[in-house]
Structure 1
Amino acid sequence: MVSVEPTADRTESVPADAALHRRLVYGDESALNEAYAVYGGLVRAVAVRVTGSRGAAEDVAQEVFAQLWSRPYGFDPRRGSLRTWLSVLAHRRAVDWVRSEARHRKAAQADDSALQAIPDAGPGPDEAVVDRERSLLLHSALAGLPEPQREVVHLAYFAGRTYRQAARELGIPEGTAKTRLRSALRKLAESLTDPPDRALGRGA
């Protein structure tokens, strides 16, 4: 893939999504670097929240922008903003990473159990694994929100914006942004009502 250099976000100069998309389709490498400069920090922030690992977040960011470069038609500017598309894609990649790590841990634990038969030991789950599973549930629920609500949550939770700032960035009234944020939080709370063990058991 074309390499992109990590830089500080330049959110004050967000490029027009449609124009940037056209440049990516035509293979303009500067468009990829421009997208990374503006949205790279947000993508890494999403990945860190899910994985709890900065190293994993960097890997996720590279995968996300590699997909943007190799398959630019995957993003449709008529259906939503590039910010939302990239952050949702970062969610999916980061969730995949967490699931892969969980599988590796379970395999390692199974190997340890086979090698060390300790009566009544019953090793409990590692705290970091529990945290990641909870994070996985949260971000899976977030990915299921309607896009207008997801946009506000991403800006408020991941980008650290107030609902007023989110409203300005999205070009919507402040009252609309506040309502969408409240509705999103209520839906997330309803989605996460089940205990983590039971919710994870259904997905197994």
Structure 2
Amino acid sequence: MSRRGRTDEVLVRRVFEEHGAALLAYASRLVGDRARGEAVAQEALLAAWRDPELLEGPARAHLFAIVRAAAGTGPEPDLALLGAVETLSPEHRDVLRALYFQGRDVAEASESLGVPAGAVKARSYHALRRLREAVAG
């Protein structure tokens, strides 16, 4: 195996370790089936392997976009969800933006927002719960 091949393999393994579980859970929810979700998540990882530049910047956001496209849901925003986001407090919106749109992990979000990691986790939990309630009606 060439040096480039080993480097790419290490990169994909690192991406899987960091994001694989979240990608699988997200893909499975989108398609409603774990087996198909595994195929969709694998497609996102293959895209990262083929084009490592996708992982520059907010890697998680790029990977989730690939999962959405592979699942056939496309990039169209859910208007009910967007409306629900607007009802959240600024603190909750900021945490969701950092974690899900900017692809930061809890430590990075904690640092960028200037709050403890525990506060990031709690705000994320409560924000997601409120979103689910608002969208469910």
1:90 positional shift = 1.9
CA distance in 1, matches of 2:7, 2:37: 25
Q: 2:64 is matched with which residue?
A: 87
CA distance in 2, matches of 1:139, 1:68: 31
Contact 1:47 1:91 in 2 (8 A): yes
CA distance in 2, matches of 1:62, 1:40: 9
Q: 1:171 is matched with which residue?
A: 110
Runs of 5+ consecutive residues of structure 2 not aligned to the other structure: 87-92
Flag the structure with larger Rg: 1
Contact 1:50 1:139 in 2 (8 A): no
Task: Compare the two structures and name the one with the higher helix fraction.
Answer: 2
Identity score, percent: 21
Contact 1:91 1:139 in 2 (8 A): no
After superposition, what is the alpha-carbon deviation per residue over 1:109-135, rounded to whole angstroms, capped at 9, x for unaligned? xxxxxxxxxxxxxxxxxxxxxxxxxxx
1:176 positional shift = 7.7
RMSD: 4.4
CA distance in 1, matches of 2:29, 2:80: 9
- Amino acid across the alignment from 1:89: I
Where 1:171 maps in the other structure, the secondary structure is helix
1:49 positional shift = 1.3
- Using the size of structure 1 for normalisation, the TM-score is 0.40
1:89 positional shift = 2.6
74 and 38 in structure 1: CA distance in 2 versus 1, 3 angstrom threshold: closer
76 and 30 in structure 1: CA distance in 2 versus 1, 3 angstrom threshold: closer
Matching of residue 44 in structure 1 with residue 24 in structure 2:
yes
